[in-house]
């Protein structure tokens, strides 16, 4: 378990200094500018589709030109022009118009990865991930946080920490290619790194072999890691545009370090969720113990024996108290929520 710095931001996402919400047909697009430290800013674009699927991109903003590049690559750019203009003005006001410094890798990759647990905001994660992946042979990367619908198995929440060409990720989302992504399908069911060339791409004309390659994703290493909850997993796609043999060789050689980076990014996110949930629900250690027992299949009789109370007290006092704190209709729902929020495993 990650020990967070005591001054970590409340949600780890950064202070919102601009937000613009736009209805575009049946979709909703929200643009946010977040401050992630004294000189760090992140652009967040969240798309909520009519069916409820949420896709959020987070990019580090070092200069005004990067906002222009992102807006130009947005398929809804014309409709969002007013929001992008307001966001740009806010960025210039908050940053003083100064481009942020791009420090190189301080120390070795393991040292940098070790700093992740002390990050207060996602913008700091983006800076470290960029430095580490580049040092390990990747020219671009996308770290994806993915939440599955427990019934259908479909991904209903995508959150991307992106160090890539914004035109590519916007195209990927706009064409709904996440519904036909062999890398994502592999990551759902596996936990070992793999090169995309070793996966079945259905055909030589698949978008991963043509469109993605045109945006610099010629060689891809995917590192999937699962959270243990069953409904949340992550994957790091590290890519370069080198000649295939050399490009794949450097990524494969560094697969263990890239997987370690993926694990640390996942742990950082889960630790933040645990911190939020613990603050929100104010559950005691005893109540967390009860939830773990219920999640593991324990009965009211098991709980009663563990707590030294009667079964009647479990049903009449212990379970209702937990349900009241968590706003759930029954203890099984409370246990499921505790798992999804990272309170218990």
DSSP state string for 197-262: GGS--SSTT-TTTTHHHHTT-SEEEEEEEE-SSSSEEEEEEEEE-S-HHHHHHHHHHTHHHHHHHH
Q: How far apart are CA 320 and CA 327, in angstroms?
A: 10
Taking the C-alpha atoms of residue 132 and residue 150, their distance in angstroms, rounded to an integer, is 33
Judged by DSSP in three states, 192 sits in: coil
Tokens 């495993």 locate to 345
Please answer whether residues 40 and 100 qualify as being in contact, where contact means their C-beta atoms are separated by less than 8 angstroms.
yes
Query: Is residue 97 very low, low, confident or very high in pLDDT (cuts 50, 70, 90)?
Result: confident
Return the SS3 of 173: helix
**Spacing of C-alpha 325 from chain mean position:** 27
- Note the pLDDT of residue 37: 75
% pLDDT > 70, the chain: 94
Q: What tokens were used for 179?
A: 């519904």
Q: Give percent above pLDDT 90 in the chain.
A: 75
CB distance 58 to 159 below 8 Å:
yes
Residue 262 has pLDDT above 90, yes or no: yes
Q: Compute the average pLDDT of residues 55-80.
A: 95
> For residues 212 and 168, is the Cβ–Cβ distance under 8 A?
yes
Q: What per-residue confidence (pLDDT) applies to 51?
A: 87
Residue 153 has what pLDDT?
Answer: 85
Q: What is the arithmetic mean of pLDDT over 142-152?
A: 91
Alpha carbons 155 and 184: distance in angstroms, whole number: 9
Distance CA 150, CA 156 (A): 10
- Work out the pLDDT band at 276, boundaries 50, 70, 90: confident
Question: Higher pLDDT residue, 83 or 276?
Answer: 83
Per-residue model confidence (pLDDT) at position 203: 72
What tens digit of pLDDT does each residue of 178-236 get?
A: 998 999 999 999 999 999 999 877 677 889 888 999 999 999 999 999 987 778 899 99
Are residues 126 and 59 in contact, defined by beta-carbon separation less than 8 angstroms? Answer: yes
Q: What is the mean pLDDT of residues 153-178?
A: 96
Q: What is the pTM of this model?
A: 0.86
Distance separating alpha carbons of residues 174 and 289, to the nearest angstrom: 44
- pLDDT greater than 70 at residue 281: yes
Give the count of beta carbons closer than 10 Å to the beta carbon of residue 111.
11
Helices and strands of the chain, counted as H and E runs: 14, 9
Q: What is the pLDDT of residues 104-114, one digit of tens each?
A: 666 789 999 99
Per-domain residue ranges for the chain? 15-275, 282-340
pLDDT-based confidence at 1, cuts 50/70/90?
very low
> Which of the pair, 6 or 24, is modelled with greater confidence?
24
For residues 61-71, average pLDDT: 94
Q: Which CATH class is domain 282-340?
A: mainly alpha
Query: 2-6, 133-137, 164-168, 282-286: lowest mean pLDDT where?
Result: 2-6
* CA angle, residues 133, 137, 138, in degrees to nearest 5: 55
pLDDT (0 to 100) of residue 5: 36
H-helix or E-strand spanning residue 175: none
**Alpha carbon distance, N-terminus to C-terminus of the chain:** 11
Helix (H) or strand (E) holding 42: strand 41-48
The confidence score (pLDDT) of residue 3 equals: 31
Rounded mean pLDDT, 244-271: 95
Say if CB 120 and CB 34 are below 8 A apart: no
Structure tokens at 289: 């113990």
Mean pLDDT of the chain: 90
Fold of the domain built from segment(s) 15-275? Beta-Lactamase (3.30.450)
Rounded Cα distance, 51 and 120, in Å: 33
Residue of 328, 301, 327 whose CA lies nearest to 314:
301
């Amino acid at each position: 378990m990650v020990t967070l710095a005591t001054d970590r931001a409340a949600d780890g996402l950064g202070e919102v200094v601009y937000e613009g919400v736009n209805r575009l047909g049946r979709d909703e697009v929200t643009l946010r500018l977040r401050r992630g430290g004294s000189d760090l800013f992140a652009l967040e674009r969240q798309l909520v589709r009519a069916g409820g699927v949420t896709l959020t991109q987070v990019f580090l903003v070092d200069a005004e030109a990067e906002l222009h590049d992102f807006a130009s690559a947005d398929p809804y750019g014309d409709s969002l022009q007013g929001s992008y203009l307001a966001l740009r003005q806010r960025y210039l006001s908050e940053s003083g118009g100064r481009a942020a410094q791009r420090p190189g890798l301080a120390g070795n990759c393991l040292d940098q990865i070790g700093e992740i647990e002390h990050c207060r905001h996602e913008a700091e994660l983006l800076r470290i991930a960029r430095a580490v992946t580049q040092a390990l042979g990747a020219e671009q990367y996308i770290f994806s946080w993915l939440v599955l619908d427990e019934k259908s198995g479909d991904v209903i929440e995508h959150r991307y920490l992106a160090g890539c060409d914004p035109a590519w990720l916007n195209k990927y989302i706009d064409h709904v290619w996440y519904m036909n992504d062999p890398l994502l399908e592999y990551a759902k069911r596996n936990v070992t790194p793999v090169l995309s060339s070793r996966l079945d791409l259905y055909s030589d004309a698949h978008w991963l072999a043509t469109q993605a390659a045109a945006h610099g994703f010629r060689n891809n290493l995917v590192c999937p890691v699962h959270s243990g909850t069953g409904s949340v997993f992550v994957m790091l796609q590290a890519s370069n545009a080198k000649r295939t043999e050399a490009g794949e060789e450097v990524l494969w050689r560094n697969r263990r370090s890239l997987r370690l980076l993926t694990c640390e990014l996942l742990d950082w996110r889960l630790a933040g969720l645990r911190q939020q949930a613990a603050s929100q629900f104010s559950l005691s250690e005893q109540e967390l113990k009860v939830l773990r027992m219920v999640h593991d299949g324990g009965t009211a009789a098991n709980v009663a024996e563990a707590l030294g109370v009667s079964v009647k007290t479990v049903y009449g006092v212990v379970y209702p108290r937990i349900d009241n704190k968590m706003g759930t209709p029954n203890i099984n729902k409370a246990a499921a929520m505790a798992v999804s929020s990272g309170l218990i495993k």
